[in-house]
Every structure is written in C-alpha cells, then in structure tokens.
C-alpha cells in the first residue's frame, strides 16, 4: 500500500505493508535512527515522535494509521531554535547520560512547552512520565526542561 505523510516538513510516501510499525518505517525506510527502540510495546518512550505536535510512540503505531499525518522526528526537530535551547539546557543541567532516551525526552519537552511555555515541576514530571530513563533518575532532566523554558523565553 502507498502511504503518504509529511515527515519533518517534507511530503513523502512509502510503499509498504500498512501494518509495518511506524518505528521500522522511519528507521529502515527513511534512515531516521534518532528514533530508538527500547521496548517495542509503548512503555519506554525512546521511539517518541510528534504527530501533529503531540507525543506518539512509533513502536505501537502501524504506518497505515499515519497516512496523511504530520510527523516530526528528532532529525527534523534538531534544526529548530527550540531544539537548540533544549540542547543547551540539557547540557547545563546534566540531563544526558547514555543518551538512548534523550531524543524522546526532547520531543516530549517540545510537546509540553508548546502547550505551556512556563510549566511548573509537576507539569514537567507529568509530561515526561511516558518516557523512561534508567541513568539519571529524572531530576536532572526536569531541571533541563525548566532551564529551557526560562532561557528559551519567546521561543514557545
């Protein structure tokens, strides 16, 4: 089946089995390896992408369901000013250890900040509660998102 969608701002299509996981299509057909597979069952958030600006776990979405969707992966997002603010804040707060979870957290943060540019601690914790990190214990990621929201004033 031919499936069309907007990927990182570009119109693309792929001829594939509609039941193939979006995760595999992104990684294998489009080479977007910033999208990771940590669990394959919608529990860890390493495969996070934004669909119409909202968090989606690409490991549990059949690509057929993404027909005509607007999809953003870390490869598209990293070109933005907002990404830059998050990356700097993550560096400042020590939010990154092994990094396997990090692109997912960045996208979760984006989806929060576009709704709420100055979120409080609880809102941040809730927004990233679908993303697991085994290295940091989360506080330093929460801090990173806080810093981004303060220093990236006007970006969101």
Partner 1 sequence: MKGKIGKSIKKIDVAEKTGGYARYIADMRFESMLHAKTLRSSKPRAKIKGIDIPEIPQGYYIVDRNDVPGKNRVKMIVNDQPFFAEDVVNYIGEPILLVVGPDKEKIIKILSEIKVYYEAVKPVFTIEEAEKLNTTPIYGEDNCFADYEIEKGDPDEAFGRAAKIVENEYRTGYQEHIYLEPQGMIGIYESNRVTVYGSMQCPYFVKNALIQGLGWGGDRIRVVQTTTGGAFGGKEEYPSLIAGHVAFAAVKAGKPVRLIFNRKEDIQATTKRHPSIIRLKTALDDHKKIIATDVDIKMDGGAYSGLSNVVLQRAMFAATGVYNIPNVRVRGRAFATNNVPSGALRGFGGPQAFFAIEMNMHALADHVSEDPLDFKIKHMLKKGDHTVTGGVLRQDVKLDEMTDMVLGMSDYRKKYDEFSKNDDQVLRGIGLSLFYHGCAFTGSGEKDIIKAEVKLKKREDGKVLILIANVDMGQGAQTTLRKIVARTLCIPVDDVIYENPDTDVVPDSGPTVASRTVMIVGFLLDKAAQELKAEWEKAPEVEVHKVYEQPGYIRWDQETFEGDAYPVYSWGTNVVEVEVDPVTCEIKVKGIWGVYDVGTAIDERIIQGQIEGGISQGLGYATIEVMNSKDGKILQDSITDYIIPCSMYFPGIESKLIDSYYEYGPYGAKCAGELPFIGAAPALASAVQNALNVQIKRIPVTPEYLMETAEGEN
Applying CB under 8 A, the residues found at the interface with partner 1 are 27, 32-41, 43-44, 46, 73-75, 78, 83, 86-87, 90-92, 94, 96-103, 106, 124-126, 128-142
Mark residues 123-142: x for contact with ligand FES by CB under 6 A, - for none.
Answer: ----------xxxx------
DSSP-based three-state secondary structure for 86: helix
Mark residues 54-83: x for contact with ligand FES by CB under 6 A, - for none.
Answer: ---x-x------------------------
Question: Which of the choices ligand FES, partner 1, none does residue 90 contact, using the CB cut-off of 5 to 8 A by kind?
Answer: partner 1
Site for ligand FES in 7-46 (CB under 6 A): 37-40, 42-46
CB 42 to ligand FES: min, Å = 5
Q: For ligand FES, give the closer residue by CB, 73 or 156.
A: 73
- Helix (H) / strand (E) containing 84: helix 81-93
Which candidate, 113, 128, 106, 111, places its Cα nearest to that of 52?
111
Cα angle for residues 40, 42, 48 (degrees, 5° grid): 90
Question: Which of the choices ligand FES, partner 1, none does residue 59 contact, using the CB cut-off of 5 to 8 A by kind?
Answer: ligand FES
* Dist CA 154 CA 151 (whole Å): 9
Is residue 128 within 8 Å of 145, Cβ to Cβ? Answer: yes
Q: Which residues bind ligand FES (CB under 6 A)?
A: 37-40, 42-47, 57, 59, 96-101, 133-136
């Amino acid at each position: 089946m031919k499936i069309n969608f907007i990927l990182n701002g570009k119109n693309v299509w792929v001829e594939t089995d509609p039941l193939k996981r979006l995760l595999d299509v992104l990684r294998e057909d489009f080479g977007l390896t910033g999208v990771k597979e940590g669990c394959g069952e919608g529990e860890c958030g390493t495969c996070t992408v934004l669909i119409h600006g909202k968090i989606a776990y690409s490991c549990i979405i059949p690509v057929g369901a993404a027909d005509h969707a607007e999809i953003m992966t870390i490869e598209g997002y990293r070109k933005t000013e907002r990404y830059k603010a998050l990356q700097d804040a993550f560096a400042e707060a020590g939010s990154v250890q092994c990094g396997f979870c990090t692109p997912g957290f960045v996208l979760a943060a984006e989806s929060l900040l576009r709704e709420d540019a100055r979120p409080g601690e609880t809102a941040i914790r809730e927004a990233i509660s679908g993303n697991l990190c085994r290295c940091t214990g989360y506080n330093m990621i929460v801090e990173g998102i806080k810093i981004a929201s303060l220093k990236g004033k006007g970006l969101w």
